[in-house]
């Protein structure tokens, strides 16, 4: 674990942004910028995550600044909430630490035409059935299995492959970021060990901070955007948070092992070996990108199958088809990924590799990457909070393209390590505490709930306030949890 506290300079630029100047440490090529309010910054001063922001600023080819969102906390190499863009034409690198172990961990939100009044009497039964039918927990096998050749096809094609098997619709594809498939995936670059781990885990929730949550729309802050999204007060929605499971973890682990001596090979000096990287245009960089894209496609399929199972449970509990229940996908966003995107840097338009590690794409109105339905309001942004408070729906704003390479926060951000959270929960029944807040929670163990208790996280409302005030993404609706299943 890192030492406690950050002793370096943090210069206030405005009410929501702070700078670590390039002069702070040798090797920094750009400044570090951290988006945070005074309250969030007071918490961050006790964390070494700002040091990681400065370290990322040393990467070859980095553009504009090393960035961190207000949910920033310590991670592997890059901070969670870290963003950087590198230009391959300037020797820019790709770093697995800037994507993370859970490649394309992300969030999707599904609407229903049910209101809280419709589900209140059946809520406990609904949550129990979701917990029974949707596989949760470490290493849990799912109801879907794929042969090695099928899995390679799934990793190459993403969610469209599931449509060919009757497990996705055209609308599911349309409202998934990148239409559920990163082009250029190379399943043959994924190791046999990763394929073994992924064969029976597609359609499983996993453990840690992953969840499937029944929510209600608690408040609407942007009526126009909410109407376009099909959201209304007291409406029941389902939010799913999961990623690429053991397959993605193994892809990252394999890459870090292969890249161990690569920086030295290309004359790259790093302040932290966890920033292991390779020039984007090198054979090593291209190998990782092919495998990373394949794992990202697997993750989109995982969330698609989780949603499909949730639809089946709702059908059983409410005795009608999911289509009649209005269970359509609002959107799906990735928040652990690297993507090749066009951005303007110092008034020059160029294509760069944007690393988003615990950060969400937030493209503004008019961007051609946004589905037609949302192009007038901006890309939907889904920000999960803790189990006891709230989650948020936002839309991307023009400020994201000007300041953060089209990026915003991804969640609340941890305040406590999992070990500290368990210590904090000793002698307590977190499930009963949540029930007192009106949230029915199911998990595989007491420890699972203890690690993810609300007190372990920052207040997501404070985090969202920052990105809203910064003009990066705008608040649309606050979602209240009423039922949650976890590993």
The contacts of residue 81 (CB under 8 Å, 6+ apart) are 49, 68, 69, 70, 71, 72, 73, 357, 358, 359, 409, 410, 413
Alpha-carbon distance 290 to 295, whole Å?
9
Residue 342 CB burial class (10 angstroms; 0-12, 13-18, ≥19)? exposed
Per the CB < 8 A criterion, the answer to whether 453 and 430 are in contact is yes
Alpha-carbon distance 277 to 269, whole Å?
10
- Cα dihedral angle (346, 104, 303, 367), rounded to 10 degrees? 10
210, 241, 355, 410: which is the annotated catalytic residue? Answer: 410
410 included as an active-site residue: yes
Report the relative pairing of strands 235-242 and 80-86 from DSSP bridges: unpaired
- Give CA separation, 235 vs 46, 145, 231, in Å: 39, 34, 7
Place of tokens 């089946």: 312
Q: CA nearest 466: which of 48, 57, 13, 24?
A: 13
Element (H, E) at 344: strand 336-345
- Give CA separation, 191 vs 196, 203, 249, 254, 266, in Å: 9, 20, 11, 8, 25
Helices (H) and strands (E) in the chain, counts: 17, 19
The 3-state DSSP class for residue 161 equals: helix
Alpha-carbon distance 203 to 242, whole Å?
10
DSSP assignment of 232-255, as one string? -TTEEEEEEEE--HHHHHHHHHHH
Other C-beta atoms within 10 Å of 456: how many?
22
Compute φ and ψ for 70, nearest 5 degrees.
-70, -10
The contacts of residue 264 (CB under 8 Å, 6+ apart) are none
Catalytic residue set: 410
């Amino acid at each position: 674990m890192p030492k406690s506290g950050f002793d370096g300079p943090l210069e206030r630029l405005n009410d929501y942004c702070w700078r670590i100047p390039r002069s702070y440490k040798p090797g920094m090529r750009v400044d570090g910028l951290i988006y945070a309010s005074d309250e969030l910054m007071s918490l961050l001063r006790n964390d070494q995550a700002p040091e990681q922001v400065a370290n990322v600023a040393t990467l070859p080819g980095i553009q504009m600044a090393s960035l961190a969102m207000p949910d920033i906390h310590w991670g592997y190499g890059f901070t969670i909430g870290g963003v950087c863009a590198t230009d391959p034409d300037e020797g820019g690198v790709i770093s697995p630490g800037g994507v993370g172990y859970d490649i394309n961990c992300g969030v999707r939100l599904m609407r229903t035409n049910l209101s809280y009044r419709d589900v209140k009497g059946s809520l406990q039964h609904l949550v129990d059935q979701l917990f029974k039918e949707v596989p949760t927990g470490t290493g849990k096998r799912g109801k879907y299995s794929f042969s090695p050749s099928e899995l390679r096809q799934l990793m190459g094609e993403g969610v469209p492959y599931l449509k060919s098997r009757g497990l996705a619709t055209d609308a599911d594809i349309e409202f998934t970021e990148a239409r559920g498939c990163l082009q250029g995936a190379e399943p043959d670059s994924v190791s046999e060990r990763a394929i073994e781990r992924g064969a029976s885990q597609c359609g499983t929730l996993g453990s840690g901070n992953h969840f499937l949550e029944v929510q209600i729309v608690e408040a609407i802050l942007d009526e126009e955007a909410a109407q376009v999204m099909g959201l209304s007060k007291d409406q029941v929605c389902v939010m799913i948070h999961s990623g690429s499971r053991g397959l993605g973890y193994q892809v990252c682990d394999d890459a870090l092992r292969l890249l161990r001596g690569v920086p030295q090979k290309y004359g790259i000096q790093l302040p932290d070996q966890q920033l292991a990287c390779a020039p984007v245009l090198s054979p090593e960089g291209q190998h990782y990108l092919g495998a990373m894209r394949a794992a990202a496609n697997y993750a989109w399929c995982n969330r698609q199958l989780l949603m499909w199972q949730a639809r089946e449970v709702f059908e059983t509990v409410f005795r009608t088809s999911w289509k009649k229940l209005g269970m359509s996908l609002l959107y799906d966003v990735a928040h652990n990924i690297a993507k090749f995107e066009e951005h303007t840097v110092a008034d020059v338009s160029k294509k760069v590799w944007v690393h988003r590690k615990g950060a969400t794409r937030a493209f503004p109105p008019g961007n051609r990457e946004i589905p037609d339905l949302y192009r007038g309001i901006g890309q939907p942004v889904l920000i999960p909070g803790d189990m006891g408070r709230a989650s948020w729906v936002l839309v991307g704003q023009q400020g994201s393209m000007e300041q953060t390479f089209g990026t915003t926060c991804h969640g609340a951000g941890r305040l406590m390590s999992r070990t500290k959270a368990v210590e904090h929960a000793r002698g307590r029944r977190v499930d009963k505490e949540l029930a007192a807040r009106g949230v029915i929670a199911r998990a595989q163990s007491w420890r699972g709930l203890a690690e993810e208790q609300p007190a372990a996280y920052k207040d997501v409302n404070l985090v969202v306030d920052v990105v809203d005030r910064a003009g990066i993404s705008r608040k649309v609706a606050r979602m209240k949890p009423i039922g949650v299943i976890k590993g």
